[in-house]
Amino acid sequence: MSPKMKLKAGQAKPVASSAAKVEIAKAKGRPMLSWVGKRALKFVTAFPAQFVEKFDPAEDAQKRKGELWSDWPKDYPKGGLLFHGDNKEVLAHLLLNGFRGKVKLIYIDPPFDSGADYVRKVTLRGPKGTAKLDGETYALGEQIQYTDIWANDNYLQFMFDRLLMHKELLSEDGVIVVHCDWKKSHHLRCLLDEVFGIETFRNEIYWHFYNKMHDDRKDIFPRATNTLLVYSKGDNPIFNKIASPREKTVKQLKRIKVNGILVNLKDDEGNLVYQESDTKTLDNVWDIPLIPPADVNQKTDYPTQKPQALLELILLTYSEAGDLVLDSFIGSGTTALVAQRWGRRWIGCDINKGAIQTTAKRLQGIIRKQTEDSERQHPELIQAEEKKPEPTQLSFAVYRVNDYDLSVQHNEAVNLACEHIGIERNRGDAYFDGILGKSLVKIIPFGRPLTPLDFDELRRELEARPDEDRPITLVCLGMELGAKAEIEEWNRLRKGKDAVNRVEVIELRTDPKYGKFMVHEPATAKVAIRRIKDKIVIEIQDFISPSIIMRLQEQAGLLKPKIDDWRAMVDCVMTDTAFDGKVFNVIHSDVPEKKTDFVQGKYELSVPPGKTTVAVKIIDMLGEEILCQETL
C-alpha cells in the first residue's frame, strides 16, 4: 500500500455517522428546459465527512464566538471549510449538517469548455529552464465532467441537480453567480430560470478582457468575454453599488433625492450645481485583465484560474463582511482567498485533489500574513480606498466526503481504478460501479480474473433491466479464456453503431492505454527526525518520485532524465509536531513563494513536552503525498 493510500485509510472522524437522505425542493420556475433523461431531484444521499487536516496557527477557531458564529453547526470548527469530494455529495452533506439557508453568496465556475483538455501544467522547482511536465488530469468524475458529459444531455442533468441543491443552501437574501461563456450560457440561463424562477433574475454581467488567443476563423469577431449570470433566492437580495474609476475627471450635475425622486441640485440663486467626478457607477460590463503570466503573486498554473479583481468585485457587490460565501468548484481557490482577505466566512469544495492542495497552500500564505498583521490593501482592487474589514477567521479545516470505506480492500481498489481510468462513480447503483463516457462500468474484484460466472451475472442483471440499452465496460486485472469467448460471441450478435449492451473489457495488466495502473510506484523519502532538548530537528535527506521520473522519461525519449537536487520534485513540506494519527494539524509549512525556489529540507521546531509523534507530509509537484512519522 502506498503512502498516499495509507494517509487516506483509517483517518476518518465523521461529522455525520452514516449516510442519510436529504429532501430537495422542486423547481417551480418557467420556462422548463427538456432533455433526454431529465429527472426531478427529490432526494440526495448525504455521506459522512472525514476531518483530515487543519491549519490554525494562532488557535483561532476556539476563540471565535459572538452572534456571527452563534448558528454555526457545532460539529465544525469556526473557520473556513475546504471539502475534497464530488460537489453533489458535498452539497448534500452541507444540507444535512446545518447549512441549509445560511449561504449569502454562491459563486460557481463550472467546466463549460466542451472537449477541452484541462491538464495542470507542472514545472519542477529550480532555476529557469527546468523541465516541465503535464500534471494529473481531472481524475474520477471530473474527467467525465470535462469531456463527454459536456457534449450531451448528461451535462444538463449534472447542472440541474447541482443548481437545485445550491438553491436550498442560499439564504432568502442570498445571490448565486454562475460563471460561463458563449458555449453554455443559453442553456444555463434556461436552467436558472427554471430552478430559481425568471422573476429572480438580476443581471447578466459581461467580463471583458483582452484575449490574444484569438480564434483562427476569419468569419467571427474575437471572443473576449465571459458571462456572469446573477439570480437571487428572494425579492430583496444583497446589492452594493460599486464606483469604478473614470479615465478622465468630468463635471456632472449634482443630484439629490426628494421624496425618493432624484432631482438636480440648485444654489441659492437658482443655478444648477455641478461637481467634479473621477468615478462612475459600475455597469454590467467589467473590464478586468486576465492574469499576466509574469504575475508570480497570483499565477498558479491552474487551467481555469480567474483574477482576484473579478472575485473581489463579485464579493463586494453581493455580500457583506461576515457573510458566508460558497464555491463548489473551488479550482485554484481564488474565491476562498478573496473571501478570507475581505472578512467573509467561506466554504469551498472540489473533486480534484490538486485543487484542494493548491487552495490550501494559498490560504496558508494569506492567513499567516493576517495572523502577523502584515496584510495590506490589495493593489488591484477596483475600490482600493475602501477599508478592508478584519478577518472573520484565521483558520481552516479540510474534510473528505464519502471516503470512509477506503479501508475495505475492494472499495479501495475500485476507487483507485476509477481514478486511474476516469470513471464517474455511481454509488446509488447496486450493481454497476460507475460510468465511463456512455458506458456502464462494472469492476471485477482484483483478487481474481474475470470468469464466465461474472459474465453470467452481468447477463442476469441486464435481463432485469429490459430498457437499459447502454454499452457495458468490464474492468479487471485479467480474463479467463472462457469468459473471453462468451463475450466475443455476445458482441458478434451486437454489431453496428446502435448495438445494445455491447461489452468492452479493460484488462489493467495488459491494456495499452491503462496498463500502467499496475506498475505505479509510490514516492519515497528518507527523513531523519530527532529530539534535541526542547526542540525537534527534521532533515529530509532524500526524496524520489517515480511518477515524475517516468513522465520526464516519456517526454525525453531516448535521453535519460537527470534531477540533480531532490528538492526540484517537492512542492511543499508540512509538519505536525503532535500528530494523533487522524487529523493532520499543520504546525509548520514550507511553501516556497517562487517556483525557482526550493523547500529548505531541514527544520528546527519547538516540540511539546513528553512523548509525541512528529509527522512530516511531503507533497511532490504532481500532488502525490507521502507521510513520514516518528514517535519521540
CATH number at residue 572: 2.60.40.10
Interatomic CA distance for residues 178 and 232, integer angstroms:
11
In this structure, is residue 2 part of a structural domain? no
Given a contact cutoff of 8 angstroms between Cβ atoms, the answer to whether 578 and 588 are in contact is: no
Given a contact cutoff of 8 angstroms between Cβ atoms, the answer to whether 336 and 348 are in contact is: yes
Interatomic CA distance for residues 124 and 447, integer angstroms:
37
In this structure, is residue 116 part of a structural domain? no
Interatomic CA distance for residues 458 and 460, integer angstroms:
5
Interatomic CA distance for residues 304 and 325, integer angstroms:
20
Q: What is the pLDDT of residue 124?
A: 83
**Pairing label, strands 80-84, 103-108:** unpaired
Domain with residue 107: its CATH number is 3.40.50.150
| Domain boundary residue, one of 370, 401, 432 | 401
Q: What is the pLDDT of residue 138?
A: 39
In this structure, is residue 546 part of a structural domain? yes
Interatomic CA distance for residues 213 and 215, integer angstroms:
7
- pLDDT block averages, 10 residues each, the chain of length 632: 34 62 88 85 88 94 92 94 91 96 96 50 70 49 39 78 96 97 91 96 94 68 91 94 78 76 80 78 89 65 80 96 96 95 96 86 93 56 59 95 49 72 82 91 84 90 92 90 90 85 88 68 91 92 88 66 86 94 94 88 90 94 89 92
Q: What is the pTM of this model?
A: 0.74
In terms of domains, do 560 and 610 share one? yes
Cis peptide before 592 (omega within 30 of 0): no
The rounded Cα 226 to chain-centroid distance in angstroms is 20
Q: What is the pLDDT of residue 7?
A: 33
In terms of domains, do 485 and 543 share one? no
DSSP per residue over 324-349, as a string?
EEEESS-TTSHHHHHHHHTT-EEEEE
In terms of domains, do 41 and 87 share one? yes
Helix (H, G, I), strand (E, B), or coil: what is residue 566?
helix
Interatomic CA distance for residues 520 and 624, integer angstroms:
12
Per the structure, how many domains does the chain have?
4
Q: According to the 3-state scheme, what is the secondary structure of 422-433?
A: CCEECCCCCCCC
In terms of domains, do 195 and 294 share one? yes
Interatomic CA distance for residues 618 and 597, integer angstroms:
16
In terms of domains, do 414 and 532 share one? no
In terms of domains, do 414 and 544 share one? no
Indicate the residue type of 205: I
In terms of domains, do 174 and 302 share one? yes
| Domain boundary residue, one of 453, 471, 506 | 506
Question: What domain range is 304 assigned to?
Answer: 12-111+146-214+221-239+290-401
In this structure, is residue 514 part of a structural domain? no
| Radius of gyration of the CA atoms of the chain, in A | 27
Angle between helices 452-463 and 481-492 (to 10 degrees): 40
In terms of domains, do 273 and 317 share one? no
In this structure, is residue 123 part of a structural domain? no
Q: What is the pLDDT of residue 343?
A: 96
Can you list the alpha helix ranges (DSSP code H) found in 75-123?
A: 87-96
Comparing CA positions, the residue from 567, 562, 564 lying closest to residue 539 is 567
Helix (H, G, I), strand (E, B), or coil: what is residue 30?
coil
| Domain boundary residue, one of 383, 401, 419 | 401
In terms of domains, do 472 and 527 share one? no
In terms of domains, do 92 and 183 share one? yes
Q: According to the 3-state scheme, what is the secondary structure of 36-64?
A: CCCCCCCEEEECCEEEEEEECCCCCHHHC
Q: What is the pLDDT of residue 303?
A: 63
Exposure pattern of 315-354 as b/e (b: 16+ CB <10 Å)? bbbbbeebbbbbbbbbbbbbbbbbbbbbbbbbbbbbbbbb
In this structure, is residue 23 part of a structural domain? yes
In terms of domains, do 441 and 378 share one? no
In terms of domains, do 493 and 613 share one? no
In this structure, is residue 497 part of a structural domain? yes
In this structure, is residue 98 part of a structural domain? yes
